[in-house]
Amino acid sequence: MDKLIISGGCTLNGEIRISGAKNAALPILAASLLSETPVVIGNIPHLHDITTTMELLGGMGVQLVVDEKMNIEVDSSSINRFYAPYDVVKTMRASILVLGPLVARFGQANVSLPGGCAIGTRPVNLHLEGLTRMGAELSVEKGYIKARAGRLKGCRLMLDQITVTGTENLMMAAVLAEGKTVIENAALEPEVVDLANFLNAMGARIEGAGTNVLEIQGVESLSADGLRYDILPDRIETGTYLVAAAMTGGHVKLKNVRPDILDAVLDKLEEAGADIQVAEDSIELDMKGKRPRSVSIRTAPYPAFPTDMQAQLTAMNAIADGVGIMTETVFENRFMHVQEMQRMGANIRMESNTAICTGVPRLTGAPVMATDLRASASLVLAGLVAEGETVVDRIYHIDRGYECIEEKLAQLGAVIRRVPH
């Protein structure tokens, strides 16, 4: 397993390009199962989770052609297995996203149930209840969801809880259902909107994406007809580099971004003392060498502060001036990075799902590791401002969600290198 070694103390300066959003690419690749004809998807990030998704689709008999720019042509006309094995699903929970398309188009699926997860129990009951309401017959046998269905039937679905992949799975199922489906309390995340735009470009009839009520008029079939669709930029990768720059007192410009979907994060960075200038597809952050002020956050579904940025803000608060209070409301066990940051000298006290962080002027480098993607990234950020060397182990988590993180940080002036284990 590779490690990242970071020598702290550099100020980040310069320009980098942000990659396509992992959390939009995964459902859109799954949605390509719904198309009768090949579709080309662009701005795909070069990530481990994408490779895993390609393996998953390839294992079903789907033809995938990748060009040197990471455009992927997906042709699902040759699919001959409707199977997502445990070995794949256990490494990437988002594999569950093939369930809705498989049931809707082929009337069958055999998808491993995702197990426990480092950041909480993360059940998929709402995905399964919704598909059942649409007429699928589901059973769980030996850890696998076995599904059978004729043509699904549109219906009214009221989600008990806002769920991103749940909304996506049900939306993908509903596009081919007979009649109209209404999904209430739907997720508003920009990645859900990107998926809806992709499906509509293939002939789906989805209205209300980006609001909490989706109305989907089912159609007989979807076809890409030479469609090429570019994935939206990754708002979490964008936020991560902005926080990194703010923590180091730096000045960066991020290109290929969508500032309009980052309001909650940009507000907090301004509160921390950053000067932020946005253009249509770029964000410039200038901290002018200052130490950030602590900020308090409460994570919640979009458009509130994203849970996927909580760990990075914890790293910033660890060295900020003042006391920051961070409350996690989306996942029950998402503070695994705190113990590691404490080992680097952070002053953080936990009270159930709230972290109370009193900033210290400086952290000290240490060997650390984390058990999930964003927590691992937050330890890299902590390493950037720590005295001496920080060794971040188990970085396969980072490779799942950050394209070339060490190269991008090095381009901004960080002293960071990857060592193979």
How many angstroms separate the CA atoms of 381 and 312, rounded? 7
Query: Could you count the other beta carbons within 10 Å of the beta carbon of residue 129?
Result: 16
Beta bridge partner(s), residue 36: none
Could you tell me which stretch among 7-15, 118-126, 195-203, 226-234 binds ligand UD1 (CB under 6 A)?
118-126
Q: Does 52 bind ligand UD1 (CB under 6 A)?
A: no
Q: Among 64-72, 122-130, 199-207, 341-349, which window interacts with ligand UD1 (CB under 6 A)?
A: 122-130
Give whichever of 72 and 159 is closer to ligand UD1, judged by the CB atom. Answer: 159
How are the residues of the chain apportioned to helix, strand and coil, as percentages rounded to the nearest 5? 35, 30, 35
One character per residue 246-285, x = contact with ligand UD1 (rule: CB under 6 A): ----------------------------------------
Among 166, 218, 239, 359, which residue sits at the site for ligand UD1 (rule: CB under 6 A)?
A: 166
Q: How many residues bind ligand UD1 (CB under 6 A)?
A: 21
40 phi and psi, to 5 degrees?
-110, 130
Applying CB under 6 A, which of residues 6, 12, 26, 157 lies at the interface with ligand UD1? 26
List of residues 6+ apart from 350 with CB closer than 8 A? 335, 338, 356
Judged by CB under 6 A, does residue 308 bind ligand UD1?
Answer: yes
Per CB under 6 A, the segment of 64-72, 157-165, 266-274, 289-297 that binds ligand UD1 is: 157-165
Among 70, 126, 199, 224, indicate the residue that binds ligand UD1 (CB under 6 A). Answer: 126
| Binding map of ligand UD1 across residues 309-348, x = CB under 6 A, - = no contact | ---------------------xx-----------------
CA 56-60-62 angle, 5° bins: 90
Give min distance, CB of 128 to ligand UD1, in A.
7
Which residue of 76, 238, 240, 307 would you call a contact of ligand UD1, by CB under 6 A? 307
- The residues annotated with a catalytic role in the active site are 117
Distance CA 380, CA 393 (A): 10
Residues 6+ apart with CB under 8 A from 144: 86, 110, 111, 112, 113
Residue 98 or 320: which CB sits closer to ligand UD1? 98
Helices 22-31 and 164-174 pack at an angle, to 10 degrees, of 20
- For the CB of residue 374, give the shortest distance to ligand UD1 in the complex, in Å: 8
Backbone torsions φ then ψ of 372, nearest 5 degrees: -145, 170
165, 181, 238, 240: residue in contact with ligand UD1 (rule CB under 6 A): 165
Q: Is 125 in the site for ligand UD1 (CB under 6 A)?
A: yes
Q: Does 164 bind ligand UD1 (CB under 6 A)?
A: yes
Question: Sheet harboring 83-84: ordered strands across?
Answer: 83-84, 108-112, 144-148, 137-141
- d(Cα 204, Cα 200) in Å, to the nearest integer? 4
Q: Is 132 in the site for ligand UD1 (CB under 6 A)?
A: no
Q: Which is nearer to ligand UD1, 125 or 277 (CB)?
A: 125
**Could you say which of 163, 238, 296, 314 contacts ligand UD1 (CB under 6 A)?**
163
Q: Are strands 39-42 and 72-75 parallel, antiparallel or unpaired?
A: antiparallel
Q: How many angstroms separate the CA atoms of 25 and 45, rounded?
A: 8
Using omega within 30 degrees of 0 as the cis cutoff, is the peptide bond preceding 301 cis?
no
| Chain residues in the site for ligand UD1 (CB under 6 A) | 23, 26, 93-94, 120, 122-127, 161, 163-166, 191, 307-308, 330-331
